[in-house]
Chain A
Amino acid sequence: MFMLLINRLKTFSKGGIHPPEDKYSADKAIEILPLPANVKVPISQHIGIPAVPVVERGEHVKTGQVIAKTGGFVSANIHASASGKIAKISEEMDTSGYRRMTIMIRVDKEEEWVEGIDTSNTLVKDITFTREEILQKILEGGIVGMGGATFPSHIKLNIPRGKKADVLIINGVECEPYLTSDHRLMLEKSEELIIGIKILMKALGVERAIVGIENNKTDAISKLADLTNADSSISIAPLKVQYPQGGEKQLIKALIDREVPSGGLPIDVGTVVHNVGTTYAVYEAVQKNKPLIERIVTVTGKSIKNPSNLLVRIGTPVSDLIEAAGGLPDDTGKVISGGPMMGKAIDDLSIPVTKGTSGILILPEQESVRNKSKVCIRCSKCISVCPMGLEPFYLMTVTQRGNYEEAEENRILDCIECGSCAYICPSNRELLDYIRLGKSNVTNIIRARERV
């Protein structure tokens, strides 16, 4: 009977892998990390145009105050994540691996919030705002996609003319190994989450919402299912554990069996996908007036003493988080911002947590070393695991040869950079590295062509 149930679970149809889950912090409750001495808030924490600083050095700011305004359409507001004095506005290292403009705040001992922000834990149930007001609050709150892509949320909610959404998809998949921040959020903030979903439904004007959760989070599934029992508009869908199910296109395929066309967006098939973290941030921004100034970060790893889920302010240095989880283990080989599949190694522990930091993963030395790359043995494993149906070995070869026309024809831009090909390759080839290079060059070529 149980086997039958497992077999019936939905998933996406093409490719995918199942790496060891290693979710050590799954049963650790969210802890609030004390305010650091300084917060360093980068002005570019989202995809698109960096925000423009509106404060000056020496100025005193309150928590939640806008310190950098949107720099264009695809951009987001940046808020002070703690009250204090602006110590400097300078170029500092961030997750991009380059020095970028960052606003540093020397944090006050007594925290002072901007008036109108509700910092209590009381649940605000009634949604009294109109669609326009909701969108405005999301825009002002600087909400971006918190699953890692950090795409400004208000753009996703502004449906282009001539298109229509009929269902909202909430992404609670968290398919990356190790990470548990979304899992804990769904468990501990489930009521807020449901209200957040209703707000998003109102903003989009849809009648139906589906929350997709992988079946390794049964406690979250049953809790959310209990809460939505009475409400037929929101359904909770358990999914088979399969990476990269958290990818937008994969999740849409798994839940409603629609396929986003090559180069298209979810709205082309009548849906919009939002992460649970984003949904919670929307609840806080709309119902409590609280902008996006903090997020849940999983600090984890095989040899870390105390794997934990921390609620931290944006701009807190990564070293503070590691300290709270028991310090950096002796056998550390790499510190990764994000998960093991799509995350990025960082080379400086003073870099700040940003809106897109879902986890800090500490890999021991023997696991962090890349094995030597060997020749392709034509086993075609990369092709069978690619969730987008691409041919990774071929895309790598044409990129190495500089044949970008061929790369473009073979849909290199459809690659979602999930890393399944590089994970499965028995020859340890740097498939994704070269595909990224090819994507960047093909994008440049297309842009140049459009200009002509």
Chain B
Amino acid sequence: MNPTIITTIVSLSGMGAVAAIILYFVAQKFKVETDPRIDDVEDVLPATNCGGCGFPGCRAFAEALVKSPDISDLHCPVGGNDVMKQVGAILGAEVAEKDPYVAIVKCSGSFEHRKKTNVYDGAPNCTIASMLYGGDTGCAYGCVGLGECVDSCDFEAMYMDENTGLPVVLEDKCTACNACVKACPKDIMELWPKGRKGKRIYVACMNEEKGGVAKKNCAVACTGCEKCIDECKYDAIVIENSLSYIDGEKCKLCRKCVDVCKTHSILEINFPPPKDRPPKDRPDRKLARTKKETEKIETVDTGKSIEALPDISPNENADSSNENDKSE
């Protein structure tokens, strides 16, 4: 064999061995002590690095879990109670059980209900569009429909429905990591208690305009008529700025508000279809009053232009609906 090769191999191996010995001692000298439990906890965590826990990634959350004396406030929304129990077992600490949450879309203004008034051809980004103007429909509070929430989802738990123009949350995949809530410039997404068997009731509208204006722009807008408040026995509903909001924690899922909502802006999810559920409110009064309204709703349902509806100024409509409520 060529002696040059032999000398090269021997000298390089020698240098390698010397370097290895030096490095070994340096590593011993400058060793960083880490709690081995951090690695154990990190192994249990789902490793999605979604940030849903409020920490920048699973490693940071694992460190926080190991270092905090009380971990009952910390929760991994992706892993849920199962993962937190395992974490509790490793650390020998108490973990609080939390009800699972799911993201909901608080807008039901689909193409059918909310007519387009203009065309947007700027950058396909919801925040950019809403910095520019109120949106391509008459409603400045509703979904922009460019899918920033879908892009933000790390779990493929959302998609844009092409028929409605609204995002859809797949509740089996949704981990309630909060990414879509942060992404939406119109604050349409919200985390909601999953409820018994996934049942939930919420107001799918964000429109804060007066009833008449809201309804003119969207057939399923909340008009702030306060009927749902009157029905609710559990004080779960508040109305602010002509917009109803159901407190998901207080709601007992009795579905009474769903029945009285004229514009169908209160949605019930995962309930069996109504079988023979007669409207429980006094029919005599209701029939006498709603002849005009029934006509209006029919016009909308047949898909004719919403502009054909009688033009009601905001004040008149808001006043009349308030009067109706008082008369009841």
Verify if A264 is at the interface (C-beta below 8 Å from B).
no
What is the minimal beta-carbon distance from B148 to any residue of chain A, in angstroms?
11
- Is B132 within 8 A of A344, CB to CB? yes
Q: How far is the CA of A214 from the CA of B118 in the complex (A)?
A: 36
Residues of chain A within 8 A (CB-CB) of B140 are 97-99
Which listed segment binds B: A107-115, A219-227, A277-285, A433-441? Answer: A433-441
- Is A433 within 8 A of B125, CB to CB? yes
Q: How far is the CA of A247 from the CA of B134 in the complex (A)?
A: 28
What is the minimal beta-carbon distance from A354 to any residue of chain B, in angstroms?
15
Q: How far is the CA of A434 from the CA of B129 in the complex (A)?
A: 11
Residues of chain B within 8 A (CB-CB) of A348 are 117
- Is B131 within 8 A of A436, CB to CB? yes
Residues of chain A within 8 A (CB-CB) of B125 are 433-434, 437
Q: A98-B140, A99-B140, A347-B117 are in contact. Are A436 and B128 (CB under 8 A)?
A: yes
- Is B118 within 8 A of A434, CB to CB? no
Q: How far is the CA of A347 from the CA of B209 in the complex (A)?
A: 19
Count of A interface residues, CB-CB < 8 Å: 19
- Is A347 within 8 A of B131, CB to CB? no
Verify if B310 is at the interface (C-beta below 8 Å from A).
no
| Neighbour of B122 across the interface among A90, A96, A99, A433, CB < 8 A | A433
Residues of chain B within 8 A (CB-CB) of A437 are 125, 127-128, 131
- Is B122 within 8 A of A369, CB to CB? no
Interface positions of A (Cβ within 8 A of B): 90-91, 93, 96-99, 344, 347-348, 369-370, 373, 430, 433-434, 436-437, 440
- Is B128 within 8 A of A99, CB to CB? no
Q: A97-B133, A99-B134, A99-B209 are in contact. Are A370 and B122 (CB under 8 A)?
A: yes
Q: How many A-B residue pairs have CB under 8 A?
A: 40
Residues of chain A within 8 A (CB-CB) of B127 are 437
Residues of chain B within 8 A (CB-CB) of A91 are 209
Q: A347-B117, A437-B127 are in contact. Are A97 and B132 (CB under 8 A)?
A: yes
Q: How far is the CA of A347 from the CA of B128 in the complex (A)?
A: 17
Q: How far is the CA of A346 from the CA of B175 in the complex (A)?
A: 40
Query: Looking at chain B's contact residues, is the secondary structure mostly helix, strand, loop, or mixed?
Result: loop
Q: How far is the CA of A430 from the CA of B133 in the complex (A)?
A: 17
Verify if B284 is at the interface (C-beta below 8 Å from A).
no
Verify if B123 is at the interface (C-beta below 8 Å from A).
yes
Within 8 A of A (CB), among B71-96: none
Most buried by B among A98, A347, A430: A347
Verify if B307 is at the interface (C-beta below 8 Å from A).
no
Most buried by B among A99, A344, A433, A436: A433
- Is B128 within 8 A of A369, CB to CB? no
Most buried by A among B118, B122, B125, B133: B133
What is the minimal beta-carbon distance from A344 to any residue of chain B, in angstroms?
7
- Is B133 within 8 A of A347, CB to CB? yes
Within 8 A of A (CB), among B269-328: 314
Residues of chain B within 8 A (CB-CB) of A369 are 121
| Neighbour of A434 across the interface among B117, B128, B132, B134, CB < 8 A | B128
What is the minimal beta-carbon distance from B119 to any residue of chain A, in angstroms?
9
Q: A97-B132, A440-B131 are in contact. Are A434 and B121 (CB under 8 A)?
A: no
- Additional 17 contacts, C-beta under 8 A, given A93-B134, A96-B133: A91-B209, A98-B133, A98-B134, A99-B209, A344-B132, A347-B133, A348-B117, A369-B121, A373-B123, A430-B123, A430-B128, A433-B123, A433-B128, A434-B128, A436-B131, A437-B128, A437-B131
List the B residue with the shortest CB-CB distance to A431. B123
What is the minimal beta-carbon distance from A311 to any residue of chain B, in angstroms?
28
Q: Shortest 6 CB-CB distances between A and B: which pairs?
A: A97-B133, A430-B123, A433-B123, A347-B118, A370-B121, A433-B128
Q: How far is the CA of A293 from the CA of B132 in the complex (A)?
A: 26
Residues of chain B within 8 A (CB-CB) of A440 are 131
What is the minimal beta-carbon distance from A64 to any residue of chain B, in angstroms?
29
What is the minimal beta-carbon distance from A52 to any residue of chain B, in angstroms?
20
Q: A98-B140, A347-B117, A347-B118 are in contact. Are A434 and B131 (CB under 8 A)?
A: no
Q: How far is the CA of A436 from the CA of B130 in the complex (A)?
A: 12
Q: How far is the CA of A370 from the CA of B132 in the complex (A)?
A: 16
Residues of chain B within 8 A (CB-CB) of A436 are 128, 131
Q: How far is the CA of A418 from the CA of B328 in the complex (A)?
A: 58
* Chain B 162-184 interface mask (CB, 8 Å, partner A; 1/0): 00000000000000000000000
Q: How far is the CA of A364 from the CA of B132 in the complex (A)?
A: 21
Residues of chain B within 8 A (CB-CB) of A344 are 132
Within 8 A of A (CB), among B98-140: 117-118, 121-123, 125, 127-128, 131-134, 140
Q: How far is the CA of A440 from the CA of B128 in the complex (A)?
A: 10
Residues of chain B within 8 A (CB-CB) of A370 are 121-122
Residues of chain A within 8 A (CB-CB) of B133 are 96-98, 347
